[in-house]
Structure 1
Amino acid sequence: MPNVRQGLGDRVLGGWLGRIAGNMLGKPVEQGEVWTRERIDGYLRRADALPLTDYLPEPPTDEIAAALRPEWRACVRGRVHGSCRDDDVDYAILGLHLLETHGFAFTTEQVGEVWLSCLPYLQTFTAERAAYRNLVSGLKPPLTATYDNPYQEWIGALIRADVFGWTSPGAPRRAAALARRDAVLSHTGNGVYGAMWAAALIAAAFTAAGPRAAVEEALVVIPASSRLARTVRRTVCLHDAGLPWQETLATVERETAGLGWIHTVPNAAVITAGLLYGDGDFTRTLALTVRGGLDTDSSGATAGSVAGVLCGAAAIPACWTEPLEDRVRSAVLGFDGARVTDLAARTVALAGS
């Protein structure tokens, strides 16, 4: 494994905190067909919260409150006391448990066994729920991903990838290979490539000079002709051409029309734009990614993970970390109420193994 810059523990903790904070920021507006970029910014303007530098403000009207996800009451400024339970955090915890239980030579079948043992069925969604149902019915991978599963290229596998990046610092190809073994339980095509790309992106962030370099390194691990790779490259090109953030996302939105707000490809564009236009600033990266719309809590979580690794926990502004109170809610068996610092320490131990 390549040499990693000093402060591995701080940067892994930064990844965990960034994932949780980004998830919490995006959770209230997680419904892409309702909460468009324009509507999210309208909410922020009404609340006098642009530029966005903290968790979402209290909704300024009852009408706005009624359109938010019901979890908003525990996710907006002044109401955050530890993290809300969410699958974007559950899968990071479940991945940690998988590696602690089976090591880095785990099989896809063992991923399924861990799900059945530790993850409640009703806390799975879309492709993960289809795969879970297929496991219970006795199917084996890769049939668990393909049988009666219309969600094979949605974002679920991407949100499961972080732990493979955190435990492969500076080794994006290794991270991608681990993420692929996990992803094929429930996904195919761009759904699998999204997990490989996200894991590589996080692994690269430990040694990359900045977000642009990490994005470039992550592209190497997925097929260059895939729609995911082409869309990420397109986002990079528009950024390099000097287009404003809004115009970049509007352009990519037109070019990915019809894929849906939970599909991997358009969400990867939102994450890429957040990282590039955020330019290494943790708060700006989270804010732009969530303001980008679509699957806001998932894309916010992944961008937060990358940004947190890039800067380290000590450099994350306290407004994001102190309300988390160093604890998580989780549906994963045995982990509800876990300390974030403990999860990070266990991840570091794996990274050094």
Structure 2
Amino acid sequence: MTTVGTTGTTHRPEAAPGLADRVLGGWLGRIAGNMLGKPVEQGEVWTRDRIDRYLRRAGALPLTDYLPEPPPGHDGDPPLRPEWRQCVRGRIDGSCRDDDVDYAILGLHLLETHGFGFSTEQVGDLWLLRLPYLQTFTAERAAYRNLANGLKPPLTATYDNPYQEWIGALIRADVYGWTCPGAPRRAAGLARRDAVLSHTGNGVYGAMWAAALIAAAFTAPTVRHALDTALTVVPASSRLARTVRRVVSLHDARLPWEDTLTTLAEETAGLGWIHTVPNAAVLTAGLLYGDGDFTRTIALTVRGGLDTDSNGATAGSVAGVLTGAEAIPAQWTEPLHDTVRSAVFGFDGVRISALAERTLRLAETDVLGPGLDTLPG
């Protein structure tokens, strides 16, 4: 199991987890991180300071479990999201439905249906067949509407879509990392083909970066190595890459986590709480300061604010792959009861273990589609 020594240094286990354990760890980590962040998913009101004030009132700092129920005196804070009763400690009975998990399921179904050579058009077709319109948001809803009106990619991403660089494509990227273990450029290429249905610019780069990060986590000795590798798949001059490097530099300078996030919030001010770039900063900080420890990683990431459930999900996926499922503490996994709620037609109530087994079969596939070793131009 991953342990934290007295100096705060995280030590990886001598016997590294196997591929099956890492894939399951990715699924469990994504779902647990999503559930942790869901009650406070409204970044314009649930700021970092408000999240920590809530936790202090509840006696839940340091955060080592799902969020507690609203404590006495909570009336002065913003309300939690309506789903909070299914997402707080002591009340969880399987996972809540959420788009951050729906898209991982849909991506798995895409690869099972069309293989690694899928087209962007086939991504859109599967949305129309399997995903309810009212369970899509921002850029995905704009692209869905464009698809229904007969538009084809890349117009689906650009027509009447002000959300092109928001976080939606990034949250769809995990399955491409899970199915390309140790092959970050292949993962990034798959994520790009999916992302251009609804996103452009940093929205696409965020998906490529996340997929590569997860793929790299299967073989990287530390989370820092995985982050360094993931940066190689996106343009170095992009705002996403510059922001991630900025977080890395502040961490290297031993700036405290709180000060790093304050600095990045100032430098990304005006982009909004669902934009890819500031969320990538919060996610990178959570991964670096979490230093490979699963609980610390998702706790810091969610406490960082902004799109808390999406960031918690991706941080949990990376940390779960790094540690493997066996090393994830039981308080995160046992309440899930190996069950997922999903809006994807035909998948509601599916077992998490079954999703992981299906993902593993794809990850072990030797025959990949042409051109996946290099990124498309």
The TM-score, its normalising length taken from structure 1, stands at: 0.98
Q: Shift in Å at residue 6 of structure 1?
A: 5.6
User: Alignment partner of 1:220: what SS?
Assistant: helix
Which residue of structure 2 aligns with residue 111 of structure 1? 123
Aligned counterpart for 2:142 among listed residues 99, 113, 130: 130
Residue 92 (str. 1) matches residue 99 (str. 2)? no
Which residue of structure 2 aligns with residue 306 of structure 1? 318
Question: d(CA) in 2 for partners of 1:263 and 1:204?
Answer: 24
Which residue of structure 2 aligns with residue 317 of structure 1? 329
> Is 1:197–1:222's contact at 8 Å kept on the other side of the alignment?
yes
Which residue of structure 1 aligns with residue 277 of structure 2? 265
What code does the residue aligned with 2:34 have?
N
Which residue of structure 2 aligns with residue 250 of structure 1? 262
User: Alignment partner of 1:140: what SS?
Assistant: coil
Q: Deviations over 1:291-344 (max 9, x none)?
A: 000000000000000000000000000000000000000000100000000000
Written as runs of structure 1 = structure 2, the 5 A alignment for 1:145-184 is: 145-184=157-196
Q: Shift in Å at residue 158 of structure 1?
A: 0.1
Q: Shift in Å at residue 67 of structure 1?
A: 1.1
> Is 1:201–1:214's contact at 8 Å kept on the other side of the alignment?
yes
Q: Shift in Å at residue 16 of structure 1?
A: 0.2
Aligned counterpart for 2:69 among listed residues 58, 67, 76: 58
Question: d(CA) in 1 for partners of 2:53 and 2:38?
Answer: 17
Residue 76 (str. 1) matches residue 119 (str. 2)? no
Which residue of structure 2 aligns with residue 293 of structure 1? 305
User: Alignment partner of 1:112: what SS?
Assistant: helix
Which residue of structure 2 aligns with residue 284 of structure 1? 296
User: Alignment partner of 1:49: what SS?
Assistant: coil
User: Alignment partner of 2:97: what SS?
Assistant: coil
Which residue of structure 2 aligns with residue 37 of structure 1? 48
User: Alignment partner of 1:258: what SS?
Assistant: coil
Residue 329 (str. 1) matches residue 324 (str. 2)? no
RMSD over aligned Cα atoms: 0.9
Question: d(CA) in 2 for partners of 1:108 and 1:130?
Answer: 16
Question: d(CA) in 1 for partners of 2:364 and 2:252?
Answer: 37
Percent of aligned pairs sharing the same letter: 82
What code does the residue aligned with 1:78 have?
G
User: Alignment partner of 2:292: what SS?
Assistant: coil
Question: d(CA) in 1 for partners of 2:186 and 2:336?
Answer: 31
User: Alignment partner of 1:235: what SS?
Assistant: helix
Which residue of structure 2 aligns with residue 27 of structure 1? 38
* Structure 1 unaligned blocks of 5 or more: none
> Is 2:46–2:78's contact at 8 Å kept on the other side of the alignment?
no
Q: Deviations over 1:188-227 (max 9, x none)?
A: 0000000000000000000001111000000000000000
User: Alignment partner of 1:57: what SS?
Assistant: coil
Question: d(CA) in 2 for partners of 1:209 and 1:34?
Answer: 37
Q: Shift in Å at residue 65 of structure 1?
A: 7.6
Q: Shift in Å at residue 64 of structure 1?
A: 6.1
Q: Deviations over 1:10-68 (max 9, x none)?
A: 00000000000000000000000100000000000000000000000111035168611
Question: d(CA) in 2 for partners of 1:224 and 1:111?
Answer: 28
- Structure 1 residues 318, 233: CA separation in 2 closer, same or farther (over 3 Å shift)? same
Which residue of structure 1 aligns with residue 353 of structure 2? 341
User: Alignment partner of 1:309: what SS?
Assistant: helix
Q: Deviations over 1:221-249 (max 9, x none)?
A: 00000000000000000000010000000
Count of aligned positions: 349
Question: d(CA) in 2 for partners of 1:157 and 1:244?
Answer: 30
Which residue of structure 2 aligns with residue 12 of structure 1? 23
The TM-score, its normalising length taken from structure 2, stands at: 0.92
What code does the residue aligned with 1:13 have?
L
Q: Deviations over 1:91-111 (max 9, x none)?
A: 000000000000000000000
* Structure 2 unaligned blocks of 5 or more: 1-15, 366-377
Aligned counterpart for 2:236 among listed residues 224, 231, 234: 224
Residue 193 (str. 1) matches residue 205 (str. 2)? yes
